[in-house]
Structure 1
Amino acid sequence: MIERIFRRHGSLAQLMRLGWRRLPLGIATKQRIRHVLLKTLSSGYRVISSDSEQSAFQPSVRFTSDAGFFAPQVTVVVPNYNHAPYLRQRLDSIYGQTYPNFQVLLLDDCSTDDSRSILEEYAEKYSHRTTMIFNQQNSGGVFRQWLRAIQFAETELIWIAESDDYCDLNFLTTLVPFFMDEAVKLAYSHSVFVTEQGKPALFRFEDYVGELSTVKWRQTYVAAAHAEVVDFLGRKNTIPNVSSAVFRKFDPAFLLAESDWLEMKICGDWIFYLHAARGGKIAYTVDVHNYYRFHANNSSVKTYATPVYYREHECVAIEIARLYRVPVETLAAHKYFVKQFFDQNAFELRSLGIEFEALYDDERIREAAGKRLPNIMMASFAFASGGGEIFPIRLANALTQRGYAVTFFDFRGEPTNFLVREMLKPDIPVIELTNRFLDVDSMIDSFGIDIIHSHHASVDQFFAVSLLGQRRSNVTQVVTLHGMYDDMQRDIFDRTLKDVYPAVSRWVYISDKNLIPFKQRNLYREERFINIPNGMSAPNIQAVQRSAFGIEDNAFVVCVASRAIPEKGWREAIKVIREARSLSGVDIQLLLLGDGVLYETLKAEAVPAFVHLLGFVKEAVNYYAAADVGMLLTTFGGESFPLTIIECLMAGRPVIASDIGEIRDMLTNEKDMIAGYLVDISDGKIPIEATAYQVVELATNPIVRSAKQTLAKERSSCFDLGRVVDLYASAYRYPIATEVCLMS
């Protein structure tokens, strides 16, 4: 049954995007699916960073056995320009793949040979899986075609299969299983260098990479991309042909903003790999072959005597320095390999008045290193509902868009809610804690982590203990206080802080109340604490239809979105709405959104007809938009800066909420006008009748309701995530520039 489900729905990532609640599966079945994948991921391989630590992972074996259900769709891109003599062999090697789940995008950059008729022939033959895009004018560069393909592709995995190469028919069958590991961002195969006639070339892939290692590429491996760049890919382009690689689709905005990638002729593929793999892992296999055709049109030998060769390699060094925390040795080795070619062509280049230093400037590389953004490990308790779990996802997404390398760490403190997992951008690599004895120190080094940003006391402690034990000075730990420490018993707080406090460089508090336990124990130091509010990006609101729940358009709708625990006031909300209906005679309906023990309990009870139990939803803002008012009757001790209130305000709806944490300030403007109503919980209880009258006021007085809605829209602008990210960038700031001292 499990295999049948995966064949139908594809990869774990695709299941997450679909959302497990949308699938007709029982809870036990869903947990079994997760168990099988976790077992597959944790048992097969490990991160390596040196020749002495080669991996024994055999993905093709696992793929045909217990992982046979893993079949995410792949977009195969064929960018062609005047390669008619090679197209049939290329296309036969694609359409004949043993892996079944792929679509083909045929691109032609205004060829002048017979290419288009061949492409059209194959497109007609395989019309069910083929799309053609033909340029009417030549774009001027192959990387413009790559960019077009990335923008067009709707799948998570992409394979750019260049039109003059070819491959084994089990190419995708062998490479795709590596992506079961959600940290793998790029997987590539062994390349066989062939002549124009398809015969093995005298110069082999093994000869090309042999300057770096004579043993590394003899067997399959998986490595952290950062470690790979430090030891190999930062020194020489060890992926000599893009046809050998499958990668996760990523946002190329940062690549385009900071480099001349689109105009490059020689090193654009190398720079592309540096961006595509950043923050995650790279996989390599010897079990399948890509055949890379050498001919006069793609030989780089003729470029060795041209300035552009050295300028583009300087661009590569600049990208390495600004993207990765590499040691001096990496950039020195890169320069050494480049200068070798200059020295071999020095007479011709110097006859033109060109010196190496003018083309490859150490100072420009140093400047790039000084601008490097920190590599961040965003460490979350779980992919579960709750502000402390959802906010790090939103922050990780926003930081990635700003150009940060973000690796997401899932502590797996709770079972995964696939709808929450779906909130994380698919190109952000995820590391799951599958072993409580994980070598954190090795992981930090392999991924080049500068900052660990944790959001839950258990996760804070997990990393702090390791950092203290290893006495790390090159890694900063940042903790956001979501209210958990406020609600701790004194003895638990003291035990936790004994480990955590010495390791944490910056404490981010979202509410003044977060500071109380620290001040009580004389642990508050102004320089170590910074106030940053919560926020979210402006949503694309698509209000759900009330009719979907059997609610009339003229009904007054109240929406509650929170974790379904007793302290969040779900039962009190039901009592309030029952009382408000009685007082007003108005049809008042209650939407309850969220998961948890209380949700399961209420489902088993006979709740009133006006109560709609909807479970967890990914976009609560769309439900708030369908309602007239939001409600949060919380007595939760850790309540600080609720994300659900921000979502309600973003939908332009007022909120009836407990006066706790920062809620008063969240709802109140500079004129002390409140975008809703505050509920007095000074005695620790929700005043049912008083709160019911607040609901009645909004339900029966359209003037008051309209004024409160206007205030809600006004207040929503205060929680822009862009401003929040600016503040976190300030909190992260510390000396991280790579020391660059290159060979002379």
Structure 2
Amino acid sequence: MSAAAVLPLVTIVALCHNHARFLRPALDSILAQTYPRLEVILVDDASTDESVAVLREYAAAHPGWQTLLLERNVGNCTAFNQALARTHGHYVIDFATDDVLLPERVARQVVVFEQLPADYGMVYSNVRLIDEAGRLQRLFYARTAAGQLHPAPASGWVFEQVLRRFFISAPSMMMRRATLEALGGYDETLAYEDFDFWVRASRHWQFYFQDEVLTEKRLHPRSKSAQTYRPHDPLVASTVLICRKAAALCRTPAEWDALAVRIRWELRQATRWGNLAAARQLYALLHDLGQVGWADRGIGVYLKLKK
């Protein structure tokens, strides 16, 4: 039996929607992986550019790669779940095809994961943030003069931390399939997946931060994150739902307080960008939790006056 045969199978779900401009570097980065046991599925969520042609070209050149070419746009969560159901990897990477995997990405994360106890559901790492031309802008985790990373990563039981602040770069994640299956995959009622996955997974599974740069995340104006909080933004509506789900999972006063910090931050962003419908829902949730402070009441008055 070869050494590769005993290594865990890793699934890469390559999700594409109108990424034709960035597809070749993304798919080439899969081919450049040093890890020998990969299962690759190329998913197109009803692109209207030349993405499908590129995906078919790569699939034809690499017969072991699967394709899932959706005729209508179903969104990341549903597209990912449909792909996941067709795969078998012990570990899973949700790979947006406007990003880039560095050659040692899979190999290095598998080494870490295989050394962790079975209750670790996700490993994540540092990320290079690049522009549309692939030029380095900065690292997701910057190191201070004292050698500390900012934002501060966290490992272990991180549920309270996940509620309180944003400290994980989603493109860096490798997930345990057992964790995804226990959660029923991504929530298909939502417009995005990462915050909800972090909340639900961290309640029952530990997370681990790997202090290495293994991924490049592309920053461009058409990305979902670049459009967040504007009026009618479906991401904010999903954030409200996720916060409500998180409230049902809280068990301690510290967790309730952490969730209130998150809701308060989301409330201010939604108000700032004029998404008043979402802001009112967030304010109502803060009120339901008994967490409305004197500073929050000023926003509440403003939201009433703007009706």
TM over 0.5: yes
Q: Percent identity?
A: 22
Over 3 Å counting, the alpha-carbon distance change for 1:253 and 1:175 in structure 2 is: closer
Map 1:395-434 to 2 at 5 A.
none
Over 3 Å counting, the alpha-carbon distance change for 1:337 and 1:240 in structure 2 is: farther
* SS of structure 2 residue aligned to 1:262: coil
Q: Within the alignment, does 1:322 sit opposite 2:248 as a pair?
A: yes
Q: Is the 8 A contact 1:194 1:200 kept in 2?
A: yes
Q: Within the alignment, does 1:144 sit opposite 2:78 as a pair?
A: yes
Map 1:143-542 to 2 at 5 A.
143-180=77-114, 181=116, 182-201=118-137, 204-206=139-141, 215-216=148-149, 223-225=155-157, 228-231=158-161, 233-241=162-170, 243-250=171-178, 261-265=187-191, 267-306=192-231, 308-325=234-251, 327=254, 328-345=256-273, 348-349=274-275, 354=277, 356-362=279-285, 366=289
Q: Is the 8 A contact 1:310 1:359 kept in 2?
A: no
Over 3 Å counting, the alpha-carbon distance change for 1:102 and 1:251 in structure 2 is: same
Q: Distance in 2 between matches of 1:199 and 1:362?
A: 41
Normalising by structure 1, we get a TM-score of 0.35
Any idea what the Cα deviations from partners look like across 1:456-483, whole Å, max 9, x if unmatched? xxxxxxxxxxxxxxxxxxxxxxxxxxxx
Q: Distance in 2 between matches of 1:168 and 1:251?
A: 25
Q: Is the 8 A contact 1:248 1:276 kept in 2?
A: no
Q: Within the alignment, does 1:94 sit opposite 2:22 as a pair?
A: no
RMSD: 3.2
Over 3 Å counting, the alpha-carbon distance change for 1:144 and 1:100 in structure 2 is: same
Q: Distance in 2 between matches of 1:275 and 1:239?
A: 15
Q: Within the alignment, does 1:73 sit opposite 2:5 as a pair?
A: no
Q: One-letter code of the match for 1:271?
A: D
Q: Is the 8 A contact 1:235 1:334 kept in 2?
A: yes
* Runs of at least 5 residues in structure 1 that lack an aligned partner in the other structure: 11-70, 367-739
Equivalence for 1:131: 66
Q: One-letter code of the match for 2:155?
A: A
* SS of structure 2 residue aligned to 1:161: strand
| Aligned residues between the structures | 287
Normalising by structure 2, we get a TM-score of 0.80
* SS of structure 2 residue aligned to 1:152: coil
Q: Distance in 1 between matches of 2:122 and 2:212?
A: 16
* SS of structure 1 residue aligned to 2:188: helix
Over 3 Å counting, the alpha-carbon distance change for 1:301 and 1:171 in structure 2 is: closer
Q: One-letter code of the match for 2:260?
A: A
Q: Within the alignment, does 1:741 sit opposite 2:291 as a pair?
A: yes
Over 3 Å counting, the alpha-carbon distance change for 1:349 and 1:222 in structure 2 is: closer
How far is the alpha carbon of 1:255 from its aligned partner? 5.2
Over 3 Å counting, the alpha-carbon distance change for 1:293 and 1:73 in structure 2 is: same
How far is the alpha carbon of 1:130 from its aligned partner? 1.0
How far is the alpha carbon of 1:111 from its aligned partner? 2.0
Structure with the bigger RCO (C-alpha within 8 Å, sep 6+) is 2
Q: Distance in 1 between matches of 2:203 and 2:238?
A: 20
Q: One-letter code of the match for 2:83?
A: A
How far is the alpha carbon of 1:279 from its aligned partner? 1.7
How far is the alpha carbon of 1:150 from its aligned partner? 1.9
Any idea what the Cα deviations from partners look like across 1:514-534, whole Å, max 9, x if unmatched? xxxxxxxxxxxxxxxxxxxxx
Map 1:15-30 to 2 at 5 A.
none
Equivalence for 2:299: none
Q: Which has the larger radius of gyration?
A: 1
Q: Is the 8 A contact 1:73 1:101 kept in 2?
A: yes
How far is the alpha carbon of 1:239 from its aligned partner? 2.4
Any idea what the Cα deviations from partners look like across 1:634-666, whole Å, max 9, x if unmatched? xxxxxxxxxxxxxxxxxxxxxxxxxxxxxxxxx
Q: Distance in 2 between matches of 1:296 and 1:166?
A: 17
Q: Distance in 1 between matches of 2:125 and 2:224?
A: 21
Over 3 Å counting, the alpha-carbon distance change for 1:349 and 1:324 in structure 2 is: closer
* Runs of at least 5 residues in structure 2 that lack an aligned partner in the other structure: 297-307
